[in-house]
Structure 1
Amino acid sequence: MAVSVDLLSNPVFVLGSFLVLFIFHNYLHKQPQHGKKYHPTAATVLHLLFNYDKLHDYMTTLSEKYKAYRLYNPVHGMVYTTDPVNVEYILKTNFKNYGKGYYIRSVTSDLLGEGIFTVDGDQWREQRKVASQEFSTKVLRDFSSVTFRTNTIKLGKILSQAADSNEIIDINDLFMKLTMDSIFKVGFGIELDNLGGNEEGVRFSLAFDDANNLTYKRFVDPTWKIKKFFNIGLEAELKRNLKIIDDFVYKVIQLKIEQMQMSKDESLLKKDDILSRFVEVHHNNPKYLRDIILNFVLAGKDPIAISMSWLIYELCKHPEIQEKVAKEILEALNVKSEEIIDVVDFIDRVTDSALEKMPYLHAALSESIRLYPALPMDPKVSFGDDVLPDGCSVKRGDMVAYMPYAMGRMKFIWGDDALEFKPERWLDQDGRYRQESPFKFTAFQAGPRTCLGREFAYRHLKIIASVLLGCFVFKLSNEKQVMSYRVSINVHVEGPLRVCVSRRSGFQNP
């Protein structure tokens, strides 16, 4: 509990905590003013601190009692909801009233700057328009597919070596390296080579992940601005990580600008990576380019790696489902069990048409994402007084958050088996994949801010999963182990995910 220890060791904070609790006690006994109805107050911001290591499970427990509730915070109101009707209203019906606002921007801007995840209004619309154009291009689609396939082959070779030597591997670490390498190639056009052990790339990746974690802790640490001013505690640690990130990214941007200036005759369409296309328009603003790319890295790296890690974990816990997924993959690729092929040959069979024949794999991925959405909580700020569909009021400046992690566990949304890993819930009676409402399955947002990379993510998840599950069998090194998450902007697996890997019958070393 690093954040709790960091705060609770401070006597000033402890005394202040008692004062806040005293105020909270009085607050609970106040009558609503002007006849307005407000959501029930379930806890205080201090409860978030005391339950920080299991934050999302704590919020889920509160959500089992209330579809929407307030947490008392002396600075500003905090409203949390799992009600799909409220979510649709916030994300779509009254979209213009809910955005990032000053509060969220102040917490995240040191890491993400003025990227698409932190801005509103014209800035957001401009970046959204450019990003939408990029994700719709065949150039990006083809380049990213080649990149992910290449790095999946590298991972396949590592897994084959582990299978030969009976080595226990940390599959979570490998997925993080694979996706960082792939996203950097697609985003920057450079080979980071984390999978190959490149020291500079690994150093940047660790700093980025640590900065991600430390930034999230600001949401529950009311003293973070004081620590930042005096450069102490977690803020000093964050500053050190940001320097590593910025030194690396600005060096890459400068190199890219110089390369572009030396090759002005090249067609824009020949520039495969995203940074090259942004440089064409914003080459005089390195800070803008830095913010754009770091937001892209956050959006692309973590969700894919996280989703793969939790998928493998659940399939290890449910080997019968793992076998069912593998059987579908082999049938879709027309691979006979007696055929002996390697990973390189196998991935050549993973075509777009073959991926379309894997509804059960798609369902298993969605089920994993339902239970472990990369973004567990998405806070907005109310720009004006409002009334949600449940009849309760929110005030101007209130933080209003919907919670994909808690929503994935709500029985009133998913039924009595909500906590079970059950891919079949995503299939119709004919075995075809069935889409759910984005206001129920909120892992990819909804409304005007719907994730542009949804299809991008699913496509590359299916490429990675089809190769790994078609070629290998995974088991937890400790079959009794129960994995938890690390509290961060995204729901990372806590600690190493150690697995034993063996080749499926008929597969040889690539």
Structure 2
Amino acid sequence: MFISSLLFFILLPLIFIFFKTPKSNPNSPPKSYPIVGHYLSIYANRHRLTQFTSDLVLSSPTLTTVLRRPFGQRRIITADPAVVRHILKTNFSIYQKGDIFRSTLFDVLGNGIFNVDGDDWKFQRQLSSHEFNTKSLRHFVEHVVDVELNDRLIPILAAAAANDSVLDLQDILQRFAFDNICRIAFGYDPVYLTPSLPKAKFAVAFEDGVRISSERFRLVSPLIWKIQRFLNIGSEQRLKEAVTEIRQFAVKILTEKKEELARNPSIQSVDLLSRFLSSGHSDENFVIDIVISFILAGRDTTSAALVWFFWLISRNPAIEAEIVKEIDLKSESLVYDEVKDMVYTHASLCESMRLYPPVPADSKMANADDVLPDGTVVERGVMVSYHPYAMGRVEGLWGKDWAEFRPERWLETDETTTGKLRFVARDPYTYPVFQAGPRICLGKEMAFLQMKRVVAGVLQRFTVVPVAEDGGEPVYVAALTSKMKGGFSVKIRERKE
């Protein structure tokens, strides 16, 4: 492997000289060259890989395509629900995270739940599942999200409205979600969402760690980042620094929790970290990996979903009006019941994530030879990716109006009651925004409750107005989760009665 990689680096300048880097054309497949495969097209589209791979998948008659990487590596990408079901459920035991995924993300995620298979995954999932029962969800909404909303988020938005100032709503929502996940999962309040908007070292380190780790997947060969890491140069030097800062933060949370439990062994703490410590796992690195994984899940996904949601409704005032009408009707209910029963808002969030999923693509590695339902041959060791971003744009799944933001596609009239609207969920293999099968997201309901409470709290009082100069669509960028490039600059207006 080393010799072949070395030869590639020697030949790479010649390849770029003799072969013109191709331009992206969604109507024709990229050209594959000897040795490098499709790498020239991948490189040319490195700043828009989600859209590039989506175009390739959607132009395939089977909704499945194969990207050839250097040295004969193949990556299969699909938007076919039958294939998604095959890899996430039917043949779940064959399609695992695998060595490539695990080694690439290990520096940041370690042995956390998102980076392991087998017994380690089963144990973490089983213990984590207790955190998502009805009692815990009600507590989360009424005592964590609602307090964070009313005591921190709303005052910041009100001050911005009074001062006519510009906020980066993406940053604000990430702070909000970070405080929430730390409080519910670890019993720790980082107080990250405050009027001064402190630039915490951990937040910067976490952003850099996730970004650099995900960029490793795009390199010609993993040997590149491994050499850089060994020499401690380039982006790997920054990654090492970021990981140190991330783990120091996690150690602080862990130490405080251990001290709390030591002072009061009989404490009836229900947070996730206490459950793991009480389970007998004293390995500090193992518990820290769990802490980091849940920060990633709780901070980045819900905030990403809300950012694109607020942008979409700003462009669709009629939909915003329907959401506000529903909020007003439910405002007399208890907080938990209010958000649980917000059908139109729930449909609007699903529709937003159809177009802009927080995780645009996910990959599994085949640990045995296989054949996909569409006839694609999969050799052992090949990565197979399913593509929620592309799947939300398949006309055969969503109709000719797939490009429209239309919450009504998730609703129907319930004839058995008083004609009220009823939410109609899509098959999870058609809409795998929360994964599907045995690894379906444990926090799905918690995420919806949090997002609906934020939407209700914000839109009942304010209107969110983007301040982008060109008024066009923001740039959707993705690492492990999606972001709006450059943030989401908005002004906040008090809603008129």
- Taking structure 2 as the reference length, the TM-score comes to 0.88
- The answer for the alignment partner of 1:493 in structure 2 is 484
Counterpart of 1:214, as a letter, is: I
Structure 1 segments of 4 or more deviating over 6 A?
Answer: 19-23, 197-201
Answer yes or no: is the 8 Å Cα contact 1:63–1:406 preserved in 2.
Answer: yes
1:311 to 309, 319, 325: 309
Residues 470-485 of structure 1 correspond to what in structure 2 (within 5 A)? Answer: 470-478=460-468, 480-485=471-476
Give the counterpart letter for 1:310 in structure 2. Answer: W
DSSP 3-state at the match of 1:428: strand
Residue 392 (1) aligns with residue 390 (2):
no
CA deviations 1:145-173 (Å, max 9, x no partner) are 41111111111111111111111211111
Rounded Cα–Cα distance in structure 1 between residues aligned with 2:314 and 2:115 = 37
Q: Which residue of 1 aligns with 2:128?
A: 131
Q: Which moved more, 1:306-315 or 1:221-230?
A: 221-230
Q: How many residues were matched structurally?
A: 466
Distance 2:445 2:119 in 1: 25
Question: Is 1:251 matched up with 2:252?
Answer: yes
2:176 is the counterpart of 1:178: yes
- Residue 192 of structure 1 contacts residue 198 of structure 1 at CA under 8 Å; is this kept in 2? no
Q: For residue 252 of structure 1, report the CA deviation from its aligned partner.
A: 2.0
Task: Tell me if the contact between 2:50 and 2:477 (Cα under 8 Å) persists in the aligned partners.
Answer: no
What is the alpha-carbon distance in structure 1 between the residues aligned to residue 366 and residue 281 of structure 2?
A: 35
2:244 counterpart letter in structure 1: K
2:360 and 2:478 in contact (8 A); partners too: no
Secondary structure of the 1:160 match is helix
* Corresponding letter in the other structure for 1:54: R
After superposition, the C-alpha distances for 1:351-379 in whole angstroms (9 at most, x for unaligned) are 23323442111111001111111111110
Q: Which runs of 5+ in 2 are unaligned?
A: 1-7, 21-30, 415-420
Q: Does 1:50 pair with 2:44?
A: yes
Q: Deviations over 1:398-440 (max 9, x none)?
A: 0001011111112122111112211111111452111000001
Task: State yes or no: 1:459 paired with 2:457.
Answer: no
What residue is the counterpart of 1:70 in the other structure? 66
Whole-angstrom distance in 1 between the partners of 2:141 and 2:102: 30
Q: CA deviation at 1:197?
A: 6.2
Q: Kindly tell me: are residues 438 and 484 of structure 1, through their superposed partners in 2, closer, same or farther at Cα, counting changes over 3 Å?
A: same
Give 1:18 shift: 5.1
The CA deviation at 1:44 is: 1.7
The aligned counterpart of 2:208 is 210
Kept in 1, the 8 Å contact 2:68–2:75? The answer is yes
Please show how residues 94-493 of structure 1 align to structure 2 within 5 Å. Answer: 94-136=91-133, 138-139=135-136, 141-143=138-140, 145-153=142-150, 154-196=152-194, 202-221=200-219, 222=221, 223-266=224-267, 270-282=268-280, 284-334=282-332, 349=333, 351-430=335-414, 431-478=421-468, 480-493=471-484
Deviation of the 1:134 alpha carbon: 2.3
Deviation at 1:133, TM superposition (A): 2.3
Deviation at 1:184, TM superposition (A): 1.1
Aligned CA distance change for structure 1 residues 357 and 191 (closer, same or farther; 3 Å): closer
CA distance in 2, matches of 1:93, 1:325: 38
Kindly report which structure 2 residues correspond to 1:75-86, keeping only aligned pairs within 5 A, or say none.
76-86=73-83
Matched residues in 2 for 1:379 and 1:79: separation? Answer: 9
- Over the aligned positions, Cα root-mean-square deviation in angstroms equals 2.4
Q: Structure 1 residue 468: deviation in Å? A: 0.6
Q: Check 1:123–1:283 CA distance in 2 against 1; reply closer, same or farther (3 A cut).
A: closer
TM-score (normalised: structure 1): 0.86
Pair 105,173 (structure 1): closer, same or farther in 2 beyond 3 Å: same
Opposite residue 447 of structure 1, the aligned amino acid is G
Query: In the superposition, relative to structure 1, how do residues 255 and 351 fare at CA in structure 2: closer, same or farther (>3 Å)?
Result: closer
Aligned to 2:86: 89
Q: CA deviation at 1:279?
A: 1.4
The worse-fitting range, judged by mean Cα deviation, of 111-120 and 231-240 is 231-240
1:224 is paired with a residue of what secondary structure? Answer: helix
Is the CA contact 1:53–1:487 (under 8 Å) kept in the aligned structure 2? no
Distance 1:460 1:257, change over 3 A: same
CA contact (8 A) 1:192 1:201 kept: no
The match for 1:340 is none
Query: Is the Cα–Cα contact under 8 Å of residues 156 and 195 in structure 2 kept in the other structure?
Result: no
Cα 1:146–1:307 change in 2 (3 A) is same
Q: Distance in 1 between matches of 2:381 and 2:14?
A: 23
Give distance in 1, aligned partners of 2:378 and 2:35: 16
Q: Which runs of 5+ in 1 are unaligned?
A: 1-9, 29-42, 335-348
Amino acid at match of 1:408: G
Report the identity percentage: 34
Contact 2:35 2:72 in 1 (8 A): no
Contact 1:210 1:238 in 2 (8 A): yes
**Structure 2: how far apart are the matches of 1:138 and 1:256?**
22
Please state whether the residue corresponding to 1:117 is helix, strand or coil: helix
Distance in 2 between the 1:179 and 1:231 partners?
33
Q: Distance in 2 between matches of 1:27 and 1:230?
A: 27
SS of the residue 1:95 aligns to = coil
Which region of structure 1 is more displaced relative to structure 2, 68-77 or 178-187? Answer: 68-77
Deviation at 1:224, TM superposition (A): 1.6
**Deviation string, structure 1 residues 224-278 (Cα, Å, up to 9, x no partner):** 2221121111111111111111111112212221221221132xxx213221221
Encode CA deviations 1:165-215: one digit per residue, 9 max, x unaligned: 111211111101100111111122222111126888722112111211111
Paired with 1:24 and 1:79, the residues of 2 have a C-alpha distance of 15
Query: Relative to structure 1, is the Cα distance of residues 75 and 141 closer, same or farther in structure 2, using a 3 angstrom cutoff?
Result: farther
Find the aligned partners of 1:168 and 1:414 in 2 and give their Cα distance.
Answer: 36
When structure 1 is superposed on structure 2, of 80-89 and 119-128 the one drifting more is 119-128
Structure 2 distance, partners of 1:150, 1:13, is: 59
- Deviation larger for 250-259 or 92-101: 250-259
Contact 1:257-1:283 at 8 Å conserved across structures: no
**Local SS of the residue matching 1:501:** strand
What is the aligned partner in structure 2 of residue 25 from structure 1? 33
Q: Is the 8 A contact 1:367 1:421 kept in 2?
A: yes
Q: Name which of structure 1's ranges 133-142 and 484-493 shifts more when overlaid on structure 2.
A: 133-142
Q: Where does residue 4 of structure 1 map in the other structure?
A: none
1:75 positional shift: 5.8
Equivalent AA in structure 2 for residue 47 of structure 1: S
Kept in 1: contact 2:141–2:335 (CA 8 A): no
